[in-house]
Structure 1
Amino acid sequence: MAETAPATGDAVISVRGLDVAFGDKTVLDHLDLDVMRGEILGIIGASGSGKSVLTRTILGLLPKRSGEISLFGQDLDRVSDDERRQIEQRCGVMFQQGALFSSLTLAENVQVPMRECLSLSPALLAEMAALKLDMVGLPPDAADKYPAELSGGMTKRAALARALALDPDILFLDEPTSGLDPISADAFDQLIVTLKASLNLTVMMITHDLSTLHAACDRIAAIAGGKIVAIGTLQDLLSCEHPWVKAYFEGERGRTIFADKLAPPDVAASPA
């Protein structure tokens, strides 16, 4: 595991000894993780390593076998139902592939969390939905479109608008750029960075996209064998000797993207 300096600031997500299993198969094995306020943390790992399981367990969508999960300094096993609902409303989730309701317009999709948690007039609901859609870069006429009418990039942005509906403090993103062309993926990365800064968000992002790690993430955590095997800045992970992490960044695609960072610093330039 890469030895990295501890992150500064306070942890808005704290996981200690998290153990999750499906039958006899252990997916997360006493995993520890802190997500610091105001950072974008990228979560990487092989397919089936437990990245989505980690997020869904933090959100309470999957049961844990043991361990502690705290959000905003509150142990989720020790809060009341009302307190837990208040914590959940401070979290926005963008699921993989968007998970928009196909029978609802984009405006109606964005309004779903508002209708469940807030008491707003129809006019204010429409105004708030329009604001969220504009915030993610969608044009005004997108509000009345249905998910089937959207491009992949528009679907991602609409799902992000819904995740932002309740003005969350933490944003969970599951493979936000998967399926996008490189230009759309780069634009989405920049949107996340801009929203993080303007809205004071903390972002926990599952991604396989090496470009996203480079462009958007403040720190990166790698999962292997059910544990966090490396965590730190991009440069920390590029220096990590863990076999999976090393293979991940030093493959052909990684060498293309991170060529300048992977090159040995003491190699002298060849004479002309």
Structure 2
Amino acid sequence: MRPSCRLLLSSLALCAASVPVMSAFADPAPVIAVNREIGLSMTGTFRNSVSGYNSHMTEQDTSSHSGFTEESASSSRYRTIGWTPGFQVDASIMFNAFGMENLYGALHFSLEDGQRNYKSRYRAYSNLSAPYGFSAGGNDSSNGTDNRGEIGKGFLLLSNSFLLTPFIQGGYTTSSSNGDFGYGYGLYFAGAGLKTDYALTSRLVLRGRFGWAEVLNSGISYNKQPRPLWEGGLGVDCRMTRRLHLTAGGDYSYISYGRNRNAETSMGLEHSYSYSDISSGLTNGLKLHAGLAWQF
């Protein structure tokens, strides 16, 4: 029996020694694995941008020579709408360091380039001249990039099948002068958000993202004040092989530039003048993407 006992003890010792080695090579939880990827996707981006401007002016000569009064007003509207193709590159990592688990970092770059439809309208009215106006429309070039980074920390829940990751974000976005206005022209933004990953199976993970950021120098706003940018997205990550994943999803963004008001008034002994204007605008967009990612 002694040889048998010795053999049994030796086998147990070998198994115990091999546990750390096996765990080192074991695959991470699916919700962790999808945050250790680098991927390339094709994209299609629908964007709708609308702006408006209205002004009113009153000028009065109160001298005894003429006594005329001039009133004038103008209004303009501009809109771009349509789809543009493009691509995006995503890289993310989740690791343990400094005594903390599931630290998160990510980089994102996307480019869109194509044509969108635009429509513009201008109208002017005055009591001293005939009304004037024109309209225009057609297709014009529209392109832009989105460059951003995220850092955060993940929290595993529900027996490691659900991952909640709050993060902070910052980046730089550009767009062409003929395309989207406001959220573009080369602007910086900074904010925070929340990511969620839920493993339906060991191969299929549902992904969600909600973000907020302040766009610094909001472009179309005459007062140049920061404006909030809201984002939301849903996606799926399907493991095809041990390393190769299929990814797909959609992301929505919205920014409103508010209503900016300006007013001027001057009074003199023989002349009075008043002027006011209101500008407003918004941009919303939907980006659909599908591609492949490599888990490392």
Superposed pair shares fold, TM > 0.5 = no
Higher strand share: 2
Task: State the TM bucket, normalised to the shorter chain.
Answer: under 0.3
Higher helix share: 1
TM-score normalized by structure 1? Answer: 0.20
